[in-house]
Amino acid sequence: MLIVMDRTATQADVEGVVAAVERMGLRAHPIPGVQRTAIGITGNRGVVEPTALENLPGVLEVIKVSHPYKLVSREFHPDDTVVSIGGVPVGGTRVVLVAGPCAVETFERTVAIAVAVKARGAHLLRGGAFKPRTSPYSFQGHGEEGLRMLAAAREASGLPVVTEVLDTGAVDLVARYADCLQIGARNMQNFELLKAVGKTGKPVLLKRGMAATLEEFLLAAEYVLNEGNPNVVLCERGVRTFSDFTRNTLDLAVIPAVERISHLPILADPSHGTGRRHKVAPMSRAAVAAGADGLVIEVHDRPEEALSDGPQALTPDAFGDLVSQLGPIAAAVGRSL
């Protein structure tokens, strides 16, 4: 924390700030400058938020310096974390491909898609049984029946299953079926849900919220780690901006940013990140080139009939074509598929 004093601040103002800081159990370090004084603050963070200082006389601005995350930070854990999802390592040298339908629809179709994506190179199966839908009138998923479809598809294909959980009340149920619990973008700051999936110890795929800063994203992961669960995989899926030719703006620079300050693996989801089928392949290639630890891609055998997000799903063959493009790019960044 740094307090910047107004250039007209008096010596008494500076002393007032120092006294207030010390009453909080922190240490104040005044730095007199040519035009103004700044006051550095050190000490452990307490319950009181020192931003309250900005209303003291003579204070121009309060600048936060340290970040509140710890467990997710590379400073505290220098080596890369590798999360095992049903035996598939995420965060190692292999680029992981998570593929499947947006929502699971029938046993037959779910199995068929799982087998098809497995045959074309997928390592994990995705699919929603509980769907967060913007409108109450849209298809909301098949619930537990959908989880059974995913289990059948795992059985048939051998692919471990990643599926979303929407509510604390359903965490135990979903955890019985899934190999990895997905927290969707809309729930990134549903802190009770983060604590609940943290307590399961299961791998968690945490999607970035549509308006989340990097610090907020990492703090959401911190909630899970703070429950004793280190198995968090981050996922960039696009943020909300003015840019209107895609459904969201895929912020790929978050990949090297996370790599620099956190030890957690990070995937990209170009399907939700663009919302348009013809942009999925270019942005998938881009994400791998930027260093993503894997991709989450929607695949549907008949996208035009999909009950959810059809326009962004690839066919299994288009997915296969994409996989063949990704191999040389993974190799160019020292990885493999």
Residue count of the chain, please give it: 337
Q: In 3D, which of 163, 167, 206 has the Cα closest to residue 183?
A: 206
Burial group, residue 327, by CB count within 10 angstroms (0-12, 13-18, 19+): middle
Least distance CB 96 / a copy of itself (angstroms): 17
Residues in CB range of 179: below 8 A, 6 or more apart: 85, 86, 124, 154, 160, 161, 162, 202, 203
> Measured from the CB atom, is 60 or 152 closer to a copy of itself?
60
Say if CB 1 and CB 49 are below 8 A apart: no
**Which of residues 90 and 196 has its CB atom nearest to a copy of itself in the complex?**
196
| CB closer to a copy of itself out of 6 and 301 | 6
Q: Smallest gap, in angstroms, from Cβ of residue 287 to a copy of itself? A: 7
Strand partners, 207: 235
Dist. CA 335–CA 330, nearest whole Å:
5
Rounded least distance, CB 307 to a copy of itself, Å: 6
Toward a copy of itself, which CB reaches closer, 178 or 220? 220
Nearest approach, Cβ of 174 to a copy of itself (angstroms)? 13
Q: Provide the minimum distance between the beta carbon of 168 and a copy of itself in the complex, in angstroms, as a whole number.
A: 5
Q: And the tokens for 105?
A: 């629809």
Q: Rank residues 157 and 262 by Cβ distance to a copy of itself and give the closer one.
A: 262
**92 vs 310, beta carbon nearer a copy of itself:** 310
**C-alpha dihedral, 316 to 320 to 322 to 323, nearest 10°:** 130
- Rounded least distance, CB 86 to a copy of itself, Å: 26
